[in-house]
Amino acid sequence: MLLELFQSFLRIGVGAYGGGVATIRLIYHEIVEIQGWLSSGEMAEVVALAEMTPGPIAVNAATYTGYRVAGVAGAGIATLAVLLPSLSFLLALVALARFPTVRTVVKRLGKLLRPGVLALIAAAVWSIGRAAISGWIPGLFAAASFLLFFLAREKVHPALLILLFGLLGVFLL
Amino acid sequence: MAGLKSCPCWRLFTTFFFVGLFTFGGGYAMIPLISRELAQRRKWLTEEEFQEALALGSSLPGPIAPNLAFLCGHKIGGIPGALAGEFGCVLPSFLVILGIALGLSSLFSEHQAQKFFAGAGAAVTGLVAANALQLGMRMASDMVELLIAASALGLIVAFRVHPLLALAWAALAGLVAKGIRRAP
C-alpha cells in the first residue's frame, strides 16, 4: 500500500506543473478515478481544506490522502513522493549550475521570463481574489492591505496583515 | 554565495517555516513574505536574485512554493540551505493537514475557519496585487515588456490558457522583440 501511495504521488508530482487549479484535475484523476482512495465528495472536502490551510494543494492532498490510506507513515511517504520529482529536477539544475555557460543561460532565461512571470503573478491575484473577494467587506480588506503595503511597508509585516484581516473576517464576515 | 561559508541553515528553515505558515492561496502568496523576510529584513537576497528564482520556480515542474523556497535557499546557503528552505516551507502545511486528519479540527468550527480564510485571502489578494504593481513599475521603462506581460495575462484570464503555455508565449514574444530591435 505504501508503495502504491508512493508511486501515485510521484506521478502527481511529475504532472503538477504550474501549480494550483491545473493540478486539482490530475489529483482527482489519480486518487478518485484510478485508485479509488477517496470518494469524489471527500475529494471536494480536501480541495476546500487545501484552500483553508497554508501550502500548495498537491502537498495538502498528499498528506491527507496518505493519512487516510496508511496513517502517519502514509502521510509522510505521500508528501515526500509528491515533492521528489521537482526536488530531483532542482538538484540536477543546481549541479549543472557549476558550469558558467549554464549560469549565463539561466540568467538570460530569467530576464526573458520576467514579463511572463509578472503575468502569472497578476493571474494569481485574479484567481485568489475571485475566491476570496465575495462581497464589499472582503473587497475593502483587499484594498486596505494593498494601501497599507505601500504606505507602511517597512513597518507593517505582511504576515501581520494576513493575520489581522483573517481575524477581522471571523468577526465581520 | 557568501552564505556558503557560514550556512545559516537553521535560520533559513525557521524563516521558511514562518513563510509557509502564511502561504494561503498558492505559491505566489509567498512573494510578499519572502521579499520582506529575505530581501528587506535579512538582506540575504537581492531583488534581481529573487526575480531569477521567481522565473525559474514558475517554469519548473512541481508546486511553486517549494520550488521558490528551494531556489531562494540555494542562493543563500547552497544545497543544505535549499533543502532547509524546501522542508521548512512544506512542514507547516504537513502538520496542519495531519492535525486536521487526526481530528484536532473539532477544536474550532469549520465555519469560523472559512471566515478566517476569506479575510486572510482578501489580504493576500491586496498584498500580491501590490507586489505585482511594484514589479510592473520596475518594468515600466520598457513598454514592450509590459505589453507582453499584458498579453500573457489576457491569455490566462480570458482564454484559460495553461500558465506554462502563457509563459512560453511571453518568452517567445520577448525573443522576437529582441530580434526586431537588434535588426538594423
Q: Which of B33, B98, B148 sits opposite A67 (nearest CB)?
A: B98
The pLDDT of residue B154 is above 70 = yes
3-state secondary structure chain B: CHHHCCCCHHHHHHHHHHHHHCCCCCHHHHHHHHHHHHHHHCCCCCHHHHHHHHHHHHHCEECHHHHHHHHHHHHHHHHHHHHHHHHHHHHHHHHHHHHHHCCHHHHCCHHHHHHHHHHHHHHHHHHHHHHHHHHHHHHCCCHHHHHHHHHHHHHHHHHCCCHHHHHHHHHHHHHHHHHHHHCC
The answer to whether the Cβ–Cβ distance between A116 and B118 falls below 8 Å is: no
For cell 473539532, the residue is B106
The pLDDT of residue B111 is above 60 = yes
In chain A, the percentage of residues whose pLDDT exceeds 70 is: 95
Residue type for A36, please? G
User: Is the pLDDT higher at A134 or at B184?
Assistant: A134
Q: Which of residues 114-133 of B touch A (CB under 8 A)?
A: 114-132
Q: Which of residues 71-90 of A touch B (CB under 8 A)?
A: 72, 75, 79, 82-83, 85-87, 89-90
Interface residue B145 vs chain A (CB under 8 A): yes
ipTM surpassing 0.90: no
Q: How high does pLDDT run on average in chain B?
A: 86
Residue B176: how many other CB atoms lie within 10 Å: 12
Q: Which of A54, A116, A141 sits opposite B24 (nearest CB)?
A: A54
The answer to whether the Cβ–Cβ distance between B152 and A22 falls below 8 Å is: no
Over residues B17-39, the pLDDT tens digits come to: 999 998 887 778 888 888 888 88
Over residues B69-83, the pLDDT tens digits come to: 999 999 999 999 999
The pLDDT of residue A16 is above 80 = no
User: Is the pLDDT higher at B60 or at A146?
Assistant: A146
Contacts of B85 in chain A (CB under 8 A): none
pLDDT band at B4 (very low <50, low <70, confident <90, very high): very low
